[in-house]
Structure 1
């Protein structure tokens, strides 16, 4: 498999819903939500890349690091890299519908597992979205993470029970999906959660609980105080609120506030292994990658997803060697500098 062929096939299969741009920065698809773009002006999508671009890696080549170790243990699972496949749904209205929801998420989960890491699945107005993701995770002996929308409490608790029964590695709630209008239009309203409601959700499952959509230190504190095992610093890919800051802008402050209280994950704008290392240096333990893996799934199936993940892993290793970083568990903040 080669990148050029994968991208060419994906461009044909995605039928213009995703242009498979040379750089996936949200400009060609600005405002296309549904679609692959960001809400409104699309600035919340593009700012994720812009914020990461302002973070520069400090190159060092006079040191004793000869090998770079990208392995880590997350939620009790040994992973080959600190890069997970992010939860994505809505194949019909976001990606053109050449694949079914079940086909798409199976490719994502299987590809992530083939690359030695975890894939996530999502939730949405159509029950087949969550059902398909859970089936794909079950087929991989629980090697995946389902995320649930911030629905009413009873609905959330029912889905948590199913995730628990499936033996998933962890379970999450993307609280940043609280403003998704399509859910309300389909008679399945979502809304913000109070700290007490979040605490009840966390208590309802023995699985490690992840709160996705954290953008401030105080809400990170609230999530961990409620018993969450992890947070995801995320603006939902710029798809729910225009003009938000990029994840790389807010991550350092969040990490300073809650480092050591639980796992810190982040998503938004990751396009290379160098981007992964930047996020780790800013305080994350691992990252989630979304839109680029859509290209892998449509362009090359599970093999395409694994190919892109392994490519990022190789880039991460190269960046680690050239910054004197021996292990992803020991990334120093001194290997990055911020430029306006």
Structure 2
């Protein structure tokens, strides 16, 4: 009988979360075969930070019918229509809960899920989780510690999270976005570069600083003069800005995160500030340079990427690209080996607990 796995992730919010989920599912299928994938959707459009305080975000309210209901829902965001797990559901059918990457493995948006895990005693694993804040283990609330301490497996993707969870002896491996693509491409020459665009004009939590935004525009303009480059946007707010800033340049975007497998497959190299854009390229065997702008940059080490900071001299970036051009074959093969080694380790750990 097919198992039911509940994944903590986001949908239609940050494609990076969905790249991670693709990789997690690919790995789990090698162990469990076919299963039913269910998501606990942490997208802020679905679950606001304090949404758990709203007693009307339930299936019961959604099913009610009376005059004026639609007006109330429009003004107060009442009801729950998303095709994802609702915390007041009977969760006895869930076999496992999997936290699929992301720094949001605890917090108010995840709090209702922890209540469900504790209430139904659901076996839980954490795969490739990271951190965007510096805290200590003792600062984690008891309900989260209870689930963490009883979890079957904790794999982290960065040093900061390993330090935070050090009392639990977590395992540090590459982020599962490395497994998003099942196949790698052959790269024999550096012909086309993907430039991942971000802007300070996007919504909070999906934007970069104004300083980073200005640096990207300057850097990408310079690179377009020397290389064949195309722009890739992950979030809708970036799209009109990209068309305004880079007229005449090919610009890629899709609402469907799976489309990025084919979008990025067209390229031989990638540069940008989005960690998991670098990650999904690494899953193809495409090397890259991450432009660091927050604590999550450490994750890119697990993708074999070079990491630079905002403001790095453009001549230095070009030098890195040229060095990569000279050793492109070796870099691609190194990524293939990294992917194989990491998958082997993931499978070994997961086979012991599932």
Q: TM-score, normalised by structure 2?
A: 0.28
Larger radius of gyration: 2
Provide the TM-score with structure 1 as the length reference.
0.29
